[in-house]
Structure formats: structure tokens, C-alpha cells
Amino acid sequence: MTSGFVWYRHLNDQSETPFMRKHPVRNTAFIIVLMVAFSFCSGALFSQAVAEDLTGISQSSDYFPDTIGSHWEYRGQITEGPLQTIDHKFFTNVSTVTGTRTLRGMTVTVFRDTNPGNHGPSDSFYRRDVVGIVYHGSEPGTPLEKQLIPYQIVRFPMRISSTIQQFDKKDLDFGTDMDRDGINEKVDAQGTSTVTGIESITVPAGTFKDAVKVEAHMRMKIHLSGATRTITGTDVMTAWFARGVGLVKYVERQELSPLEDRGVITEIMEELESYEIKPPKASLGRSEAPTEGLFADDSRDHELHQVVLAPRLRPDS
């Protein structure tokens, strides 16, 4: 969704992919070493702990407002085509928080976009609690996306230079017959997201200092059923989020290796033109406790897949 935040986009209309977060995991042996060393160099360890804590971003949830009625207006540009042919397109997109819905027994927030990535209208579903934000799919969705959700897009608190694996799944139904042999291809998909830093960003809506910069990477290996060969697809999205505003800009590059003689490259950009954030009293999920099992040691919940991927690899109809 460009609605407040985008994740992986879908490579062309032949696949699907939408655009964060971290709790560092401590190694037991490392902790023991620190305990032993503490009696000798407590001052040094204290300084190290302070420095490490500074990498955390306080009130991380403030970068992803979700109050009902809030809306964002973006202007976008797409550059696409085979390597030798480039086409430029311009579009607009309005993202609005329209309310909530119950999916699989959970209350999710609904973001409605009029034309995200120039793909037409869609609704995207997100659930936020004190641990982070999880993407629960979209309408209209795609066969591949349905096999990837739910996946985490943000973990609180966000920490600079931290990376999470959003998903790592193999032998999925790609939902498209690319080699025209009557059988849908199989695909392996991996996704990661890294908080790379804090910087100032200028867009038509203004200059936003201390915006959080996030990079999301998706890699796909598509196994052609009619031939003993594999083609690859990548989706790299860089997004900037401002405190109290949400997504202010993203730049995305999608590449699909040649199926016949030429590969395909698509570059997408959306920049914030205007926005209105409703008062927090209507915020969704802000005071919710973590849902049992949502972030427990359950592989189904940790194979989290946008984002933007908010929907985009759309199979040909």
C-alpha cells in the first residue's frame, strides 16, 4: 500500500510482490562473556550499552499513523520496458484509512488506495500492536500473495542497521504460465527489510527532517515447467517515513531476467503531495496487546511477506 507505507511491488503484471524493524537477539555465550567482563570494565560496558541504545528509534509506531479518515495524496512516475525500450508513465494515488475488518479472527486496519503503482484501486489490510505491523493481504489479491501472507513489515522498536527476514518460501504456485505449456510456474521467494538510517527528504508536500529510511529486497527464482531453466526476479524498494506523517516517498526497481531475448526493468516512484492525519483518538490497534501467537516462535508467522509487498505482481488475466 502506498497507504501510509508501501512494501514490495509486484514485478510487472506477471508476479506479485509489495514496502521494516527489529529486536536484537542476544547469543547466550556472548551474554556470559559480558557478565564476566563486567566486574573489570563496567564503565566501558555502560558506554557501549548507551551507544547501542542510541541506534533505536523511539516511538517507532509514530512513523505509521493509521487513524480512520487520514489520507495521503501522491504523484507517481513509472519507467518500464525491455532493456532496449523505455516507456514513461505518470499517475496519481490517494490512500485513505477507511476503517477496520475482521480477518481470520483478527481486527485489521483497511487502507484504500485509488491507484498504487498505477495498478488500479485496491484495499490492503494491516494489523498493528506493540510488537510491530503485519500485512494480511489485499483485495484484489493474487495467488502468490495468498501463499505469502501474513508477513511482518515493521518490528518495534525500529533499530538502525537492523535487518529482518520477512519470508523465505519455496515451491510456491507463481500463478502464471510464463512458458505457455499449460502449467503455472513454481517460484521460490525471499524477502528482507533493513532500517538503513535517518535523513532529511524533500518532496512536493515539504521537507521532512529525520525521516526513517528503509530498504526492502525481494528475490524470486521462477522455475519454468516446460524447460530445465530458471529465471530470476528482484524487487528493491527504498522508502522514507516521517514521524506523524507516514510514507513520504518511495523509489522501487523491479527486474525480471530474459524469458526469450530481452529482460524487463520497471522503476516506480511516488512522492507525497499533501496529507491529512486525523487525531489519535481514532487510532486502530494502538493500545492493543500482542495477539497470542502473532509473533511467537511459529514459522507461519515469521515467514512474513510488499512492502510495499502491498500487492503488485499481478498475473496476466
Q: Is residue 204 part of a domain?
A: yes
Q: Is residue 39 part of a domain?
A: no
H/E stretch holding 100 reads: strand 87-103
**How many beta carbons lie within 10 A of that of residue 264, not counting itself?**
19
In this predicted structure, what is the pLDDT of residue 261? 63
Full-model pTM: 0.73
Q: Is residue 103 part of a domain?
A: yes
Q: Is residue 33 part of a domain?
A: no
Q: Is residue 32 part of a domain?
A: no
- Structurally, the chain folds into a number of domains equal to 1
Pair 161, 301: CB distance under 8 Å: no
DSSP letter for 311, please.
S
Q: What residues make up the domain containing 119?
A: 58-302
- Given a cut of 90, whether residue 184 has pLDDT beyond it is yes
| Cα gap 220→231, rounded to integer Å | 8
Q: CA nearest 309: which of 241, 244, 239?
A: 239
**Could you tell me the pLDDT band of residue 85, with boundaries at 50, 70 and 90?**
low
Q: Is residue 29 part of a domain?
A: no
**CA 6 to each of CA 18, 245, 260: distance values in angstroms, whole numbers, following the listed order:** 7, 13, 31
Residue partners of 237: CB distance under 8 A and separation at least 6: 6, 7, 8, 9, 19, 215, 216, 250, 251, 252, 253, 306, 307, 308
- Given a cut of 80, whether residue 25 has pLDDT beyond it is no
Read off the pLDDT of each residue in 118-128 and give the average, rounded to a whole number. 95
Which CATH number belongs to the domain containing residue 141 in this structure? 2.40.360
Task: Extract the C-alpha cell encoding 139.
Answer: 483485495
Minimum mean pLDDT among 61-70, 121-130, 188-197, 294-303: which range? Answer: 294-303
**Could you tell me the pLDDT band of residue 178, with boundaries at 50, 70 and 90?**
confident
Q: Is residue 195 part of a domain?
A: yes
Residue partners of 289: CB distance under 8 A and separation at least 6: 129, 130
